[in-house]
């Protein structure tokens, strides 16, 4: 466009400036993405082996979790990620709903991972469909899937820490310690086919990753 009036020329200059700003921002984002990829690779984490977990999501999980040793069990970790369901029963009807507590950035990251599993991973899709068939509804099925993926992430982080400290004390265990009260299990906490909570990290990855 080659405007002849003053207002048109001013709009053209503004548009050109906006395009330049967008190009600069795009270059900065690409540089930042490259740095994130390098930083995540340097940690040696296997989180990116999980379907739906890219470098940015892995960086979010690592940054928000910090030292996984501060979580004694996967139940504690699920409470931190906001994926542990809370009871919302009424009378003789037992129900559970999604918790609004916990770290919302981690919860959002796990939600994105769960969406990827539901759409692209055969095991995740089958698990989601089983929950729908059990009458959980779409929200309930997604809640169950997010909880299972929280367990997977926890075990991978524990395994990462053990690999980084061979022969040392990892600090986190895969079962509740004797001094810790074991949370009451509900239908979403119990082991399910395809996402067994008592499986080893490698077995869980085999089920949740492509």
Residues 25 and 129 grouped into a single domain: no
Residues 113 and 128 grouped into a single domain: yes
Residues 22 and 56 grouped into a single domain: no
Residues 152 and 87 grouped into a single domain: yes
Q: How many domains does the chain have?
A: 2
Whether the predicted pLDDT of 86 surpasses 60 = yes
Q: Domain of residue 32: give its range.
A: 1-43
Residue 11, pLDDT score: 87
CB-based contact 156:201 (threshold 8 Å): yes
Instruction: Over range 35-59, report the average pLDDT.
Output: 92
User: What angle do the packed helices 137-164 and 74-81 form, to 10 degrees?
Assistant: 120
The Cα 84–Cα 69 span in angstroms is 19
Residue 202, pLDDT score: 46
Residues 120 and 185 grouped into a single domain: yes
Residues 113 and 191 grouped into a single domain: yes
Cα–Cα distance list, 104 to 54, 65, 129, 159 (Å): 18, 12, 26, 24
Residues 94 and 13 grouped into a single domain: no
Q: pLDDT tens digits, residue range 163-174?
A: 888 765 544 443
Residue 88, pLDDT score: 54
Instruction: Over range 146-164, report the average pLDDT.
Output: 92
Q: Which 8-state DSSP code applies to residue 181?
A: P
Average pLDDT, the chain: 77
């Amino acid at each position: 466009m080659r405007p002849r009036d003053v207002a048109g020329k001013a709009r053209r200059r503004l548009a050109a400036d906006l395009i330049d700003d967008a190009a600069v921002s795009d270059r900065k984002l690409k540089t930042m993405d490259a740095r994130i990829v390098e930083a995540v690779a340097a940690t040696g984490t296997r989180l990116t082996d999980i379907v739906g977990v890219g470098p940015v999501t892995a960086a979010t999980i690592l940054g928000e979790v910090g030292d996984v040793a501060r979580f004694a069990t996967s139940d504690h970790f699920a409470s931190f990620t906001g994926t542990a369901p809370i009871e919302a029963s009424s009378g003789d009807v037992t129900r559970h709903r999604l918790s609004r507590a916990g770290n919302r950035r981690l919860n959002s990251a796990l939600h994105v991972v769960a969406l990827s599993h539901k759409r692209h991973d055969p095991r995740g899709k089958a698990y989601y469909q089983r929950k729908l068939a059990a009458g959980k509804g779409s929200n309930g099925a997604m809640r169950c899937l997010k909880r299972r993926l929280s367990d997977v992430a926890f075990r991978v982080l524990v395994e990462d820490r053990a690999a980084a400290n061979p022969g040392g004390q990892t600090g986190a265990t895969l079962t509740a310690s004797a001094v810790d009260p074991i949370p009451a299990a509900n239908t979403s906490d119990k082991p399910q086919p395809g996402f067994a909570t008592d499986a080893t990290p490698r077995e869980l990855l085999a089920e949740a990753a492509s």
